[in-house]
Amino acid sequence: MTERSDRFLNALLTAAAITIAAVVVRREFFAGTPARAETLKPEFVPEWKDFLSSGRLVGNTEAGVKIVEFSDLECPFCKAFHASVRAIMKERPDQVAFTFIHYPLDNHRFARPAARALECAPTEADFAQLLDLLYAKQDSLGLKAWTAYAADAGIVDTAAFARCTADTARVEAIEVGVALGERLGVHLTPTILLNGWRYHGGMPQAQLDAVIKRLLAGKNPS
């Protein structure tokens, strides 16, 4: 009887573990994450330049290619896309810039607090540095104090930063981004506009580089 009970208990625990793993996988790969097939079907958004004032510009204001990015700071595909953008900007500092627009997903627990922390950056340079750091240390969201992120980003007044992140008032930049994304029908992060050409879910660096080269040459990205 004991052996049968042990076998039953082991089977039950195994089934539970499989169920939990399936839920985690579904959350990470299906809830608000990119569908790669969609990246091959760009569509032009005529009013895309109107979105430039709704986010934070990082890079040269006169860049020939401007990327508008609806992003979630806890999204792993957003992290990968950001790394690709930064690598290309390093090669083409005067030709490529991006505008970051907040679009925190409801299924990511720390996305909105991270967005608030990012908006607490006192200068544009601090914003860019903190953005890079939040993505680079994405695995520490919720485990590491926001002031520790600020200090690592070189923000001097961490006391003011702490007060800002502790505030419970709505942050206009976040609300504007979410409202704009909903109006545009954003359902995946990152959703990007490359000089107005919309791609759902970002894209690999090689494809991004190829599209940027076509746009700089005055060609249709597809």
Domain spans of the chain, in order of start = 1-30, 35-216
* pTM, full prediction: 0.81
Report helix, strand or coil for 170. coil
CA distances from 27 to 32, 91, 111, 207, 208 (A): 8, 35, 14, 26, 26
Token pair 């990152």 in the structure block, residue: 190
Segments of the chain assigned E as strands: 43-44, 56-58, 65-71, 96-102, 191-194, 197-200
**Helices marked H in 31-139:** 76-91, 111-119, 124-136
pLDDT in tens, 120-158: 999 999 999 999 999 999 999 999 999 999 999 999 999
Q: What is the mean pLDDT of residues 151-166?
A: 97
- Measured CA to CA, the distance from residue 197 to residue 166 in angstroms comes to 37
Q: What is the distance of C-alpha 212 from the center of its chain?
A: 20
The structure tokens listed for 64 are 């020939």
User: Domain 35-216, what architecture?
Assistant: 3-Layer(aba) Sandwich (3.40)
